[in-house]
Amino acid sequence: MNPLTTEPSSRPRHIAFVGDYLPRHCGIATFTYDLCEAVAARYSDTDCFVGAVNDRPDGYAYSPRVRFEFNEKDLDSYRRAADFLNLSNVEVLCVQHEFGIYGGPAGSHLLALLKDARMPIVTTLHTIQREPRSEQRVVMAELIRLSDRLVVMTQKGAELLREIYRVPEQKIDVIPHGIPDLPFMDPNFYKDQFGVEGKAVLLTFGLIGPGKGIEHVIEALPRIHERHPEIVYIVLGATHPNLIARDGESYRLSLERLAEARDLKRHVIFYNRFVTNKELNAFIGAADIYITPYLNEAQNTSGALAYAFGLGKPVVSTPYWHAQELLDEERGIIVPFRDPGAIAAAVISLLDNPTKLNQMRKSAYLLGREMTWPVVAERYMKSFRDARAARRRPIARRAFADKTLAAQPYGLPP
């Protein structure tokens, strides 16, 4: 019997998910959508719906899966959201947490919803700070206290919860970022869709911004091109909406100018759009090597890395936390931050050795079967069941944990 399978009588039948949601252009929105759909598909007799947090007054054209919305900056709307949940027979609330998507200092408005919600809460932590600011630490302390289970996507995340935030190990579930369950396929099957037949294709995708380090891959391309003139680098993704609002397309334009200055315009292709899952799968399928040149070590989770790796792509990556863990034991190639020479050497070593490249593809794909959305849905359902069991024990949910928090709502300045 599958140890992850929950008995029908013990698992919740009414589950609400809270977070950003498609068609909002955001990694959390995509994750919330994929997780909700995966649970609904795996457990067809379960009612799954979404409460979407909006970053603009007019909201988005949501699907019927979204039954209520609230405004990230409107504290009262969080309390109204809790009232809706309490009246909707919700048995478990699954919250997607990232500091930047909720209103108030360090996203503290979310605490108003969680404090008033009467059902068990399972919180997925998409970011865990190793050195949190004081207001982040206060919010995390309350978030941890109000949650019955905490989900992280890496062992590093669990380690940080235990060591920095003193969370008991038995309250933590490590569940990997989900990926689509697709067959293992030759990249040449997809390349004609993008006009790159006969090319060696490198790929980076996701919302674009300076922290992605894409300029270092472009700087590496002249050396790669000398050895493999058929090289093409695809940069897929729209510029992050927050960056657009602040700086426009200045970062993307700087990348285009760099490619032109290095005489690489024919070898760097920018697809400036937010793609559907079907389109994304085709882009990943066409890639020979996936590159994540990110600049921030303290990145616990990368959905882009999980997708590319799990679909059988050899990965060259800088050593941020998720990459260190996923690519350990030579499952990929780790290169130093901001080092075009190391990126070039890693890519050339793979293109020069097709046997090694294919072995890495197969190894990644096989490990990825443990990360497919149906498997992830089962593991979340076990967490939901455990949260209900934990809630049967007395929990003082409305009492603040310390004097700092008791001083004013959520212990933060207004």
Cα–Cα distance for residue pair 251/150, rounded to 1 Å: 35
Residues 242 and 381 in one domain: no
Task: Write out the chain's pLDDT in tens, 414 residues.
Answer: 454 555 555 899 999 999 999 999 999 999 999 999 999 999 999 999 999 999 999 999 999 999 999 999 999 999 999 999 999 999 999 999 999 999 999 999 999 999 999 999 999 999 999 999 999 999 999 999 999 999 999 999 999 999 999 999 999 999 999 999 999 989 999 999 999 999 999 999 999 999 999 999 999 999 999 999 999 999 999 998 888 888 889 999 999 999 999 999 999 999 999 898 899 999 999 999 999 999 999 888 999 999 999 999 999 999 999 999 999 998 999 999 999 999 999 999 999 999 999 999 999 999 999 999 999 999 999 999 999 998 865 444 443 333 333 333 434 433
Residues 75 and 86 in one domain: yes
Tokens standing for residue 120: 């068990």
Residues of the domain holding 345 = 188-371
Residues 226 and 363 in one domain: yes
Nearest to 377 by CA among 169, 158, 177: 177
Q: Is residue 283 part of a domain?
A: yes
Q: Is residue 6 part of a domain?
A: no
Q: How many CA atoms lie within 13 A of 237 on its CB side?
A: 21
- Count other C-beta atoms under 10 Å from residue 98's C-beta: 17
In 3-state terms the chain splits into helix, strand, coil percentages (rounded to 5) of: 45, 15, 40
Q: How many domains does the chain have?
A: 2
Instruction: Give the strand pairing for 268-271 and 315-317.
Output: unpaired
Cα–Cα distance for residue pair 143/99, rounded to 1 Å: 11
Cβ contact 111:400 at 8 Å: no
Residues 95 and 192 in one domain: no
Task: Please tell me the predicted confidence (pLDDT) of residue 243.
Answer: 82
Task: Please tell me the predicted confidence (pLDDT) of residue 396.
Answer: 43
Residues 225 and 351 in one domain: yes
Q: DSSP character for 177?
A: P
Helix (H) or strand (E) holding 79: helix 75-86
Residues 203 and 331 in one domain: yes
Q: Is residue 3 part of a domain?
A: no
Residues 284 and 319 in one domain: yes
Helix (H, G, I), strand (E, B) or coil at 46: coil
Q: How many residues does the chain have?
A: 414
Task: Please tell me the predicted confidence (pLDDT) of residue 3.
Answer: 47
Residues 304 and 343 in one domain: yes
Residues 307 and 357 in one domain: yes
CATH number at residue 79: 3.40.50.2000
Q: Is residue 183 part of a domain?
A: no
Task: Please tell me the predicted confidence (pLDDT) of residue 241.
Answer: 83
Q: Is residue 314 part of a domain?
A: yes
User: Considering the entire predicted model, what is its pTM?
Assistant: 0.90
Residues 328 and 340 in one domain: yes
Q: Is residue 1 part of a domain?
A: no
172-176: which pairs have CB atoms within 8 A and are 24 or more residues apart? Answer: 173/149, 173/379, 173/382, 173/383, 173/386, 175/151, 175/376, 175/379, 175/380, 175/383, 176/306, 176/370, 176/371, 176/376
Task: Please tell me the predicted confidence (pLDDT) of residue 334.
Answer: 98
Which amino acid is it at 75?
L
User: Where does residue 100 rank: exposed (0-12), middle (13-18), buried (19+ CB within 10 A)?
Assistant: middle
Distant-in-sequence, close-in-space partners of 199: CB < 8 Å, separation ≥ 6: 191, 230, 231, 232
Q: Is residue 388 part of a domain?
A: yes
The dihedral sign for the CA sequence 153, 370, 296, 273: negative
Cα–Cα distance for residue pair 80/107, rounded to 1 Å: 17
Residues 382 and 358 in one domain: no
Residues 300 and 399 in one domain: no
Q: Is residue 2 part of a domain?
A: no
Cα–Cα distance for residue pair 370/310, rounded to 1 Å: 9
